[in-house]
Amino acid sequence: MFSIRVSPAGRVAWRIVSTLHEAQRRRSFAVISHPDAGKSTLTEALALHARVISEAGAVHGKGGRQGVVSDWMAMEQARGISITSAALQFEYRDCVINLLDTPGHADFSEDTYRVLSAVDSAVMLLDAAKGLEPQTLKLFDVCRHRGIPVLTFINKWDRPGREALELCDELVERIGLQPMPLTWPVGAPGHFQGVLDVPTGEFVRYSRTAGGAKAAPEEHLPPEQAEAEVGEDWTTAQEEYDLLLQSGGEFDEAKFHDASATPVLFGAAVLNFGVRHLLDLVVDLAPRPTPREDVDGAPRPLDAEFSAFVFKVQTGMDRAHRDQVAFARVCSGMFERGMVVTNATTKRPFATKYVQQVFGQKRSTVDTAYPGDVIGLVNATALRVGDTLYAGKPAVRFPGLPQFAPAHFAVATPADLSKAKQFRKGIDQLGAEGVVQLLTSDLRGDGAPVLAAVGPMQFEVATHRMEHEFNAPVKLDRLPYSAVRKLGDSSQRALVDAGRRSEVLDRADGTELAVFEDEMSLRILLRAHPELELEPLVAEG
């Protein structure tokens, strides 16, 4: 037998070529929308069409179907809404898809923002009956702020809803985003027959399957046959699309990539109608990974040594082992399981012995990963959201993830004093994950931490998890604060604490938050002490 020896320079060259090739195969995107627009259902349908699962689940497991893969928490399954992001990875055609499902509820917008920092594009889901809703508008603004290209999927066309032209006009009028339809519905909302496939001019007719659990069969008809068999609905679809085309709706890939226009598709995720079109569009058009800027604004080349940043930390995914998983987006280089990397925050080494790819709650061991991939680092108790991991030299650090300005506050105490240890462990863990912001105050001490949230539903999640995961039920006493500022000068702390309706709370990142009952209380204190240095909190950065 012959053995082939490869020189160190040859190995380096092979790694570079392999990294660049694999990076081009990656498509990393998030599914975002207003609550109840069908994100989790669409995520399930995409996995079905990629043949990763054999049968699509339904929210709440309706109609005798199993529950959706991405909603794995007990509260999600009970309520039928996503309250935490979920990462799914699978192969489709010759690409590796990293799909992140996000919470739609505004109370969990901080989690959604973190997910958007880890993807290269987004699929925005619109309800055909409701169009652009408040949370949808906010998410579009975040995507625009970050320069994230958006594909739009108008969902629930199997139910009564608004006209297709009206929905497209709304995109232009309310958010200045030019719609570029690549499919157009044949049949009014509630009477969905199929779509006009714009690139081919064909009619794609869908057939229902039992409960929508299987991929919907598609029949492709040329225009002449479609006109003969479908009649008026086909003619109407062609006329409507022609009208939009005349107003600038012709597809332009450059406008999609610069986030000034959005490809538009129509479908019904619960029936798996239109889902294949979306999956093919992601593969064909969605951006590949590009160099990510570090804290100094210098792009990190894709073929540089391994680097990644942590955008999410989650415990409780494996009830049998109660481990902690840190989700990291690979930014450069080839990741190899077992390699020792450095945490840029602590400057300490981190061993990557236990690394997994995650499909909902299901896991498989990762041996290698490339730019664009999302990896789950198991037993990563030393990692926090926003940490950068890197191999070799020189060191690299990516910008941290901002925390949103909280609007709700509550003092947490253990319901059972004999479980003080579990209480402290659970509270610290929820703070590390970003489920809530964990604050302390001189007035209360460490035994009565203050939980801060963007929305009150975060408190529900926190109390549920404290009871069911950490066996440490908590009592929450709401605080009356609604106005928040950053204290610019620590020496002025006593002025705020002395107020009747204000105090200073310390956040884990060292930020001192001056909180007030309302804006009037804030103005009264500022009139009494105009020298107070108070700064607004920035929600996004």
Residues 6+ apart with CB under 8 A from 260: 177, 178
Q: In what order do the strands lie in the sheet with 194-197?
A: 183-186, 194-197, 202-206, 218-221
User: In DSSP terms, which residues pair with 150 in a beta bridge?
Assistant: 122
Helices and strands, counts by H and E, the chain: 14, 31
Structure tokens at 267: 């479908």
The response to whether 152 counts as a known ligand-binding position is no
Angstrom distance (rounded) from CA 320 to CA 128: 41
User: In DSSP terms, which residues pair with 90 in a beta bridge?
Assistant: 97
User: In DSSP terms, which residues pair with 180 in a beta bridge?
Assistant: 263
The single-letter DSSP state of residue 470 is: S
Angstrom distance (rounded) from CA 122 to CA 143: 8
For residue 468, how many other CB atoms are within 10 A of its CB? 15
112 and 127 Cβ atoms separated by less than 8 Å: no
Measure CA 486 to chain center: 27
Which run of H or of E encompasses 318? none
Helix, strand and coil in the chain, % to nearest 5: 30, 30, 40
The response to whether 349 counts as a known ligand-binding position is no
Q: Map tokens 């055609």 to a residue.
A: 93
The response to whether 10 counts as a known ligand-binding position is no
The response to whether 445 counts as a known ligand-binding position is no
The response to whether 509 counts as a known ligand-binding position is no
How many angstroms separate the Cα of 458 from the Cα of each of 75, 102, 105, 111, 440?
12, 15, 10, 11, 18
- Omega of the bond leading into 394 within 30 degrees of 0 (cis): yes
How many angstroms separate the Cα of 69 from the Cα of each of 55, 359, 408?
11, 8, 31
Angstrom distance (rounded) from CA 198 to CA 164: 15
- The per-residue DSSP string of 214-270 comes to SPPPEEEE-HHHHHHHHTHHHHHHHHHHHHHHHTT-S--HHHHHTTSEEEEEE-BGG
Angstrom distance (rounded) from CA 117 to CA 102: 12
Nearest CA-CA partner of 154 in 234, 262, 79: 262
Q: Map tokens 């975040």 to a residue.
A: 142
Q: Provide the phi-psi class of 486: left if phi over 0, else alpha when psi is between -120 and 50, else beta.
A: beta
User: In DSSP terms, which residues pair with 189 in a beta bridge?
Assistant: none
Residue numbers in the known binding site are: 101-105
Residue numbers in the known binding site for GTP are: 101-105
